[in-house]
C-alpha cells in the first residue's frame, strides 16, 4: 500500500475499497515492518490514530468530513502535540510531555488529518544527516547504509518509505528540503512568517519555518493552504493574505525566467551525477521555451558562514531555558546549584548542540559581538537585498538541493566543514526569507534520489508550486 496522493486515497474511500481505519492500520503495519531497520519513528500514536480513523469514517459517511480526511501525517519531534512526549531528539528533554498543541497541528486536526506519530530528527534540528539524534540515526529507505539528510530526516524518509502520506518538518537552513532531496520526495519551505511557529521548539527564531514533506505537489499545496495564515500566538506570523495554493495553479502554458547561480553550477563543486542532472534539467527548461540564464552571485561563499554565525547565536539564547531545573533531564546528586546546571547540560545535550551553543555564546560575547554577530547581520541584509534584485528580474532561482546524493552513515561525522557545506544551496532561502521547494529531479546510476530546488518571490508559494508541478509533469 503505497499511496502517492490524497486524491487517490479519497477515490478509494469513495469507492469503498478502503476505510480510514484500514488505511491507518496499513501505515501502522508498514511502520512496524521498517522502523527496526530505518529508525524513523520515536513514538507511534497507534491507539489514538485508530480511534480517530473510526470517527473520521463516520464523518465521511455523513458527508461532514474535513478536507484532510484520509491524510495520515507524521510530525517531526520538535512540533508539540498536547498529551504526547516531545524531546527534540535530545536527552535533555527525556520524559517531557507537551502541555500545548502547535498551531499547525491544530489546523490539520480541524480538517480531519490523522497524526500517526513523532519522527526522528537531528537533536534540536541541528544537523544535515540525522546522525545527531539521541535515538540514533534515521536511515535512507533506498539504502539503509546511507543517511536521510537532516534535520527532518525521519520525516522525509517516513514519506519515502510509505509509513505515512505526509510529514511536517521544520526548516532553519534546509532541514525540510535537504532530506527531501536525499529521499526523493517534495519538501517546501514557505516564506518566513507564512506559517505559525507556535508550538515549534525553536532553534533559530528568525530562520525557522514549518513545512510539508509529501509525495505529490498537490498534497504539499493542500497542507500549506490549511496551515498558512496569521496566528495571534505567534507575532512573527505574517498578516499577508493567504493565496490560493490548492488546487495547484495551472501554469503549463506560461514561460518563466529562471536564473541559476553560475558559481554554484561548477563540476568541481558538485558530485558528477548531480552536476549532470542539474544541467539536464536546465536544458529541458530551455527546450520548453523558458528563459534560463546564469547569474553571478559573489556572496555564495559567505552564505554558510553567515548562516552559522547567526543561527548559533540564536540557538545559544533559545536553548538556555533547558537547565535541568524545571523539566527534562536532571543530573544525579549534584554538589550544588552550579554543578546541577553544568552537569545537566553537559550530560543532556549532544556534542553538536553543545558546539553550536558555545559558538553562539562566543559570537554574542563582549568584544566579539560587533566583529562577528553584527557583521553577519549586515551580510544577511545584503544577501536579502541582492536576492530581491535577482527575483525582480527572474521568476525563480534554480539549484541542486544538495551538492551530492545521500552519503554513508559516518562518512562526514569527523569533517564538520564538509557536513556544513551540504547546506550551501538551501541556507540561501532562509537567509533571504523567501519560499523554496525541493523536488525529485533524477536518480544516480546506483538508484539514489537527486533533488532539485526552486526558490521564488516572497509569499508567492502558489506560483512556485504550480511551476514545480508543471516541470515535474514534463520530465
pLDDT tens digits along 329-350: 999 999 999 999 999 999 999 9
DSSP state of 293: E
Helix (H) or strand (E) holding 412: none
Would you call 276 helix, strand, or coil by DSSP?
helix
- Upstream peptide bond of 320 is cis (omega within 30 degrees of 0): no
% helix / strand / coil in the chain, to the nearest 5?
40, 15, 40
E strand residue ranges, 81-220: 114-119, 139-140, 143-147, 166-171, 186-189, 209-214
Nearest CA to 188 out of 379, 447, 385, 436 is that of 436
Phi, psi of 399 (to 5 degrees): -160, 165
* d(C-alpha 450, C-alpha 452), whole Å: 7
CA dihedral 42, 212, 25, 41 (to 10 degrees): -10
Residue 1 has what pLDDT?
63
Sheet holding 436-443, edge to edge: 41-44, 114-119, 72-76, 166-171, 209-214, 186-189, 436-443, 449-455, 396-400, 257-261, 291-295
* Predicted TM-score (pTM) of this structure: 0.97
What confidence tens digit (pLDDT) does each residue in 170-205 have? 999 999 999 999 999 999 999 999 999 999 999 999
Rg of the chain (C-alpha set): 21
Phi, psi of 331 (to 5 degrees): -65, 145
* d(C-alpha 62, C-alpha 335), whole Å: 63
Q: Cβ–Cβ contacts within 10 Å for residue 1, how many?
A: 13
Nearest CA to 125 out of 341, 350, 276 is that of 350
Active centre residues (catalytic): 76, 151, 175
DSSP state of 168: E
Residue 315 has what pLDDT?
97
- If you count them, how many residues does the chain have? 475
Residue 415 has what pLDDT?
84
Phi, psi of 164 (to 5 degrees): -165, 165
Residue 418 has what pLDDT?
85
Phi, psi of 115 (to 5 degrees): -90, 120
pLDDT < 50 regions, the chain:
none
Residue 169's DSSP bridge partners are: 211
Could you give the count of Cα atoms lying within 13 Å of 155 in the half-sphere of its Cβ? 37
Amino acid at each position: 500500500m503505497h499511496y502517492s496522493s490524497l486524491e487517490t486515497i479519497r477515490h478509494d474511500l469513495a469507492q469503498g475499497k478502503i476505510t480510514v481505519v484500514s488505511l491507518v492500520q496499513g501505515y501502522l503495519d508498514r511502520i512496524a515492518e521498517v522502523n527496526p531497520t530505518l529508525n524513523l519513528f520515536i513514538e507511534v500514536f497507534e491507539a489514538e490514530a485508530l480511534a480517530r480513523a473510526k470517527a473520521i469514517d463516520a464523518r465521511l459517511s455523513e458527508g461532514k468530513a474535513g478536507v484532510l480526511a484520509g491524510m495520515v501525517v507524521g510530525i517531526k519531534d520538535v512540533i508539540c502535540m498536547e498529551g504526547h512526549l516531545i524531546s527534540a531528539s535530545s536527552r535533555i528533554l527525556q520524559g517531557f510531555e507537551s502541555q500545548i498543541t502547535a498551531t499547525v497541528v491544530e489546523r490539520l486536526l480541524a480538517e480531519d488529518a490523522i497524526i500517526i506519530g513523532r519522527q526522528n530528527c537531528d537533536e534540536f534540528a541541528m544537523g544535515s544527516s540525522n546522525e545527531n539524534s539521541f535515538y540514533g540515526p534515521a536511515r535512507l529507505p533506498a539504502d539503509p547504509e546511507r543517511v536521510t539528510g537532516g534535520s527532518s530526516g525521519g520525516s522525509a524518509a517516513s514519506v519515502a518509505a510509505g509509513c505515512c502520506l505526509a510529514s511536517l518538518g521544520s526548516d532553519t537552513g534546509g532541514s525540510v528540503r535537504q532530506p527531501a532531496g536525499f529521499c526523493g520526495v517534495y519538501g517546501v519551505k514557505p516564506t518566513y512568517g507564512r506559517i505559525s511557529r507556535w508550538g515549534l521548539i525553536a532553534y533559530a527564531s528568525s530562520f525557522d519555518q514549518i513545512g510539508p514533506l509529501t509525495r505529490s505537489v498537490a498534497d504539499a499545496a493542500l497542507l500549506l493552504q490549511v496551515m498558512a495564515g496569521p496566528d495571534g500566538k505567534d507575532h512573527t506570523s505574517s498578516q499577508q493574505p493567504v493565496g490560493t495554493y490548492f488546487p495547484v495553479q495551472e501554469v503549463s502554458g506560461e514561460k518563466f525566467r529562471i536564473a541559476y547561480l553560475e558559481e554554484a553550477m561548477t563540476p568541481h563543486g558538485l558530485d558528477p551525477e548531480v552536476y549532470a542532472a542539474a544541467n539536464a534539467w536546465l536544458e529541458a527548461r530551455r527546450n520548453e521555451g523558458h528563459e534560463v540564464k546564469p547569474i553571478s552571485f559573489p556572496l555564495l561563499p559567505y552564505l554558510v558562514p553567515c548562516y552559522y554565525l547567526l543561527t548559533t547565536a540564536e540557538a545559544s539564547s533559545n536553548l538556555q531555558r533547558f537547565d535541568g531545573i524545571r523539566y527534562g533531564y536532571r543530573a544525579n546528586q549534584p554538589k550544588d546549584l552550579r554543578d546541577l546546571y553544568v552537569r545537566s547540560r553537559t550530560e543532556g545535550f549532544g556534542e553538536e548542540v553543545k558546539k553550536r551553543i558555545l559558538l553562539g555564546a562566543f559570537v554574542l560575547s563582549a568584544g566579539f559581538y560587533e566583529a562577528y554577530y553584527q557583521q553577519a547581520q549586515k551580510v544577511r541584509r545584503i544577501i536579502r537585498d541582492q536576492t530581491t534584485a535577482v527575483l525582480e528580474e527572474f521568476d525563480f532561482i534554480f539549484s541542486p538541493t544538495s551538492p551530492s546524493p545521500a552519503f554513508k552513515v559516518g562518512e562526514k561525522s569527523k569533517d564538520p566543514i564538509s557536513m556544513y557545506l551540504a547546506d550551501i544551496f538551501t541556507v540561501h532561502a532562509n537567509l533571504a526569507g523567501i519560499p523554496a521547494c525541493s523536488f525529485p529531479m533524477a536518480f544516480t546510476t546506483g538508484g539514489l534520489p537527486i533533488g532539485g530546488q526552486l526558490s521564488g518571490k516572497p509569499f508567492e508559494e502558489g506560483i512556485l508550486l504550480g511551476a514545480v508541478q508543471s516541470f515535474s509533469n514534463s520530465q
